[in-house]
Amino acid sequence: MTVNLSLKHRFEQFDLNVSFEAPKGLTVLFGASGSGKTTIINAIAGLLQPNHAQIKVGDTLLQDTDQGIWVPPHKRALGYIFQDSRLFPHLNVGQNLDYAGRVTGGMAARKSSVQQRSYVIDMLDIGDILKRRPATLSGGEKQRVAIGRALLASPQLILADEPLAALDAARKAEILPYFERIRDETDCPIIYVSHAASEVARLATTVVALKAGQVLRMGPALDVLADPSVMPVGVGSVGAVIEARVHAHHGDGLTELSAGGVTLYLPRLPQSLGAVVRVRLPASDVLLATCAPKDISALNTLQGQVQDIQAISDFAVLVTLKTQAGPVLARVTRRSVAALGLSVGVTCYAIAKTVAIAADDTADFT
Ligand SMILES: Nc1ncnc2c1ncn2[C@@H]1O[C@H](COP(=O)(O)OP(=O)(O)OP(=O)(O)O)[C@@H](O)[C@H]1O
């Protein structure tokens, strides 16, 4: 199922003009505050009627202003996951889940939803808390129930508006794998709003970067995240994301990863041999050298050629290196660029001070 969308809307002081396609998987909308993310979510939900819109989920047209088509919000097969879980406080977890089924149910739907219900409960590990009321649940448990409720509405599309923003790091880490499972195990596309680079790095299949109501860049997540022009959209800790395979677990507590022939070391990872993980290299933690470093404590060095140098302030630049593992970004001073004689095509070495599994920033490593 693919979502196709084209929206134009004018508020008094803001113009939205976006078109994009969200394929199967998880599409992250990201951009600075006020760039239009929530306006897009509201238009898809039917809570805002844009001046001009065409919104199509699979073969279903939710809105086409040219043809006068507008499906009201309650008739759109959408699942919502908000920052605050918005569970019904007077219903227990099981009843909250059943409520989603009641909204969408007919007899046939109800029969198949019995199987679906147990699948969703297993997937989200909420079988033990079905009898509890929301007030007795942790933030992470509430969000898992909210995800379950969204899934049981038999949605054609899930809209998740900063679903982890209210959770602390530990609860975030608890929920992220469930989004990965929905992304990988269901056909239902997810449109997901986030400000967090680490979350985007870990979850996104596709990224739509927004700036002042326009699409700045969109495409496969790893390509967009490696594009220095996306940096001004206000996402903190810009940095390349590369995919690597777990190659070996060593006796000294390190895991060896292989990324396109480049070897990286991280503190021991739980993943088994052969697993593919996404690794984040924050640009501010990457140093550059024009000769291969020796006698240095950092273990992760990537050789590459300078592909691009972009000024990001009066004194700082973002250098993109093309390496065998993929593009790597380094944030360095103009003075360093001059001192090292860097220009497009020059071979140099990126030394990663910290390398972390995406969305697990506790695994920083020098
Ligand atoms: N009902 C409204 N009337 C007038 N202006 C609005 C309305 N809703 C949103 N805006 C304006 O549209 C712009 C985009 O808002 P939107 O909420 O979509 O941004 P956002 O990217 O979701 O921001 P945030 O990350 O802060 O939630 C903002 O300038 C906002 O002030």
Q: Is the pLDDT of residue 108 over 50?
A: no
**14 CA to centre of ligand 1 in angstroms:** 8
Give the number of the atom of ligand 1 that is nearest the alpha carbon of residue 39. Answer: 18
Strands (E), 189-341: 190-193, 206-211, 214-220, 239-249, 254-259, 262-267, 276-282, 286-289, 300-311, 316-323, 326-333
- For the ranges 74-88, 208-222, 224-238, 326-340, the lowest mean pLDDT is seen at 224-238
Q: Is the pLDDT of residue 366 over 60?
A: no
Q: Is the pLDDT of residue 40 over 90?
A: yes
272 secondary structure, DSSP code: P
Atom 16 of ligand 1, nearest CA residue:
36
CA distance 61 to 71: 8
Atom 26 of ligand 1, nearest CA residue:
33
Write out pLDDT tens, residues 152-181.
888 889 999 998 888 888 778 878 888 888
**36 CA to centre of ligand 1 in angstroms:** 6
Select the highest-mean-pLDDT range: 162-176, 254-268, 283-297.
Answer: 254-268
Q: Is the pLDDT of residue 340 over 60?
A: yes
Q: Is the pLDDT of residue 205 over 70?
A: yes
Pick the CATH number of 3-226 from 1.10.3720.10, 3.50.50.60, 2.40.37.10, 3.40.50.300: 3.40.50.300
Which ipTM did the prediction report?
0.97
pLDDT of residue 365: 34
CATH fold of 239-365: OB fold (Dihydrolipoamide Acetyltransferase, E2P) (2.40.50)
Q: Confidence class of residue 319 from pLDDT cuts 50, 70 and 90?
A: very high
Amino acid at 261: G
Mean pLDDT, residues 18-33 taken together:
91
Q: Is the pLDDT of residue 293 over 60?
A: yes
Mean pLDDT of the chain: 86
Percent with pLDDT over 70 in the chain: 90
Q: Is the pLDDT of residue 364 over 90?
A: no
Better-predicted residue by pLDDT, 19 or 363: 19
pLDDT of residue 361: 39
Query: Is-contact 268 230, C-beta < 8 A?
Result: no
**182 CA to centre of ligand 1 in angstroms:** 28
Atom 18 of ligand 1, nearest CA residue:
36
The ligand 1 site (C-beta within 6 Å) comprises 11-12, 14, 31, 33-39
Give, in degrees to the nearest 5, the angle at Cα 81 between 141 and 280: 80
Mean pLDDT, residues 28-42 taken together:
91
CA distance 136 to 119: 24
Longest alpha-carbon distance in the chain:
73
Q: What are the strands of the beta sheet with 326-333, ordered from one edge?
A: 286-289, 347-352, 300-311, 316-323, 326-333
Q: Is the pLDDT of residue 182 over 80?
A: yes
**351 CA to centre of ligand 1 in angstroms:** 40
The whole model's pTM is what? Answer: 0.80
Q: Is the pLDDT of residue 134 over 90?
A: yes
Domain ranges of the chain: 3-226, 239-365
Cβ atoms within 10 Å, residue 159: 24
Mean pLDDT, residues 288-302 taken together:
84
Q: Is the pLDDT of residue 358 over 80?
A: no
Atom 24 of ligand 1, nearest CA residue:
33
Q: Which of 14, 83, 194 to mutate to test the pocket of ligand 1 (most atoms within 8 A of CB)?
A: 14
pLDDT of residue 164: 87
Give the number of the atom of ligand 1 that is nearest the alpha carbon of residue 40. Answer: 18
Q: Confidence class of residue 37 from pLDDT cuts 50, 70 and 90?
A: very high
Write out pLDDT tens, residues 61-104.
999 999 999 999 989 989 889 888 789 999 999 999 988 766 55
Q: Is the pLDDT of residue 235 over 70?
A: no
Which one, of 335, 344, 293, 296, lies nearest residue 313 by Cα?
Answer: 335
**121 CA to centre of ligand 1 in angstroms:** 35
Mean pLDDT, residues 223-235 taken together:
68
CA distance 340 to 334: 10
pLDDT of residue 189: 92
Better-predicted residue by pLDDT, 142 or 363: 142
